Amino acid sequence: MTEFSTVCCIFIIFSVLNSQLDAQPNKLVQVGVYYEALCPDSIDFIVEQLWLAYKKVRSIFEVDLVPYGKAWEKQLKNGTWVFQCQHGREECYGNLVQTCAVCLLNNTDLSLPFVHCAMSSSHPQSAGPMCARKLNIDYRPIEKCLTSDQGNRWQHEMGKKTESQKPHITFIPRVVINGVYSKLNQEKALRNFLGLVCENYKGPKPVECPAVKDDSL
Ligand SMILES: *[C@@H]1O[C@H](CO)[C@@H](O)[C@H](O)[C@H]1NC(C)=O
Ligand SMILES: *[C@@H]1O[C@H](CO)[C@@H](O)[C@H](O)[C@H]1NC(C)=O
């Protein structure tokens, strides 16, 4: 094959790949939320911004909840991870309850209402059983997870995901759109998350989306 036809070939392959990407304009917006259970800014974001968008335009985005925040961890000789949290032991407990819920429920329509309920309560770290009751979720597997090796590994996974964020996290919550952090999106997320999700959705906008491009965004 001549160099020219190789280049041509590569070009055609790229064009085909590109048109396949273009062919899915209705791809859901992927939102990553890195937060911690007792952080006032995390609570504000989840209770106000995230929940409003969930209520209004749930069909256009997927959310990945990562409860860990500015915690740190070390591994004991026997393999168990030990965590310390920015707001102390209570926060570590709250993070673990939400980690177990997110991993066990494995379904945004169950885990987000659970996390929203806990974060709305005056004691997010101990609201688990009450929220489970309210939402008709069986709390027993979550409770079992809290003291299990599996729960410990899941919390470590949340830690790894958080630590591997680029650039390194300095402010919690961090909100990431489609896997890429941008300072502008982060700032928009805390003020007008609904608008941000709508803006990033390439398909037909739901009527609940702000009608005109909001300059205050
Ligand atoms: C490892 O040691 C810690 C502290 O002694 C203990 O709490 C934990 O259950 C142990 N983990 C395993 C897997 O045995
Ligand atoms: C979580 O759900 C997805 C799709 O809904 C499924 O593919 C995956 O196997 C589930 N994971 C677990 C651990 O149940």
Q: What is the pLDDT of residues 61-102, one digit of tens each?
A: 999 999 999 999 999 999 999 999 999 999 999 999 999 999
Prediction pTM value = 0.86
Ligand 2 centroid from CA 187, angstroms: 32
Give the model's pLDDT for residue 19: 46
Q: Which of 77, 78, 150, 156 to mutate to test the pocket of ligand 1 (most atoms within 8 A of CB)?
A: 78
Nearest CA to ligand 1 atom 7: 80
Torsion region of 151: left, alpha or beta (phi above 0 gives left; psi -120 to 50 gives alpha): alpha
Phi, psi of 64 (to 5 degrees): -110, 110
**How far, in Å, is the centroid of ligand 2 from the Cα of 64?**
13
Q: What's the rounded Cα separation, in Å, for the pair 153 and 107?
A: 19
Buried b (16+ CB within 10 A) or exposed e, 69-84: bbbebeeeeeeeeebe
Residue 24, φ and ψ in degrees, nearest 5: -120, 70
Write down the pLDDT at residue 16: 46
Cα–Cα nearest to 56, from 217, 211, 182: 211
Q: Which residue's C-alpha comes closest to atom 9 of ligand 1?
A: 80
- What does the pLDDT look like over 176-210, one tens digit per residue? 999 999 999 999 999 999 999 999 999 999 999 99
Residue 185's SS3 state is: helix
Q: What is the biggest distance separating any 2 CA atoms in the chain, rounded to whole angstroms? A: 70
pLDDT digits (tens, 9 = 90+) for 14-66: 454 444 454 466 899 999 999 999 999 999 999 999 999 999 999 999 999 99
- Residues with C-beta less than 6 Å from any ligand 1 atom: 76, 78-80, 149
Instruction: Indicate which atom in ligand 1 lies nearest the CA of residue 79.
Output: 13
Q: Which residue has the higher pLDDT, 22 or 149?
A: 149
Quick one: which ligand is closest to 105's CA?
2
The closest ligand to the CA of 79 turns out to be: 1
The larger pLDDT score, comparing residue 115 to residue 13, is at: 115
Coil, strand, or helix at residue 85?
coil
Residue 101: what pLDDT?
98
Please provide the size of the chain in residues: 217
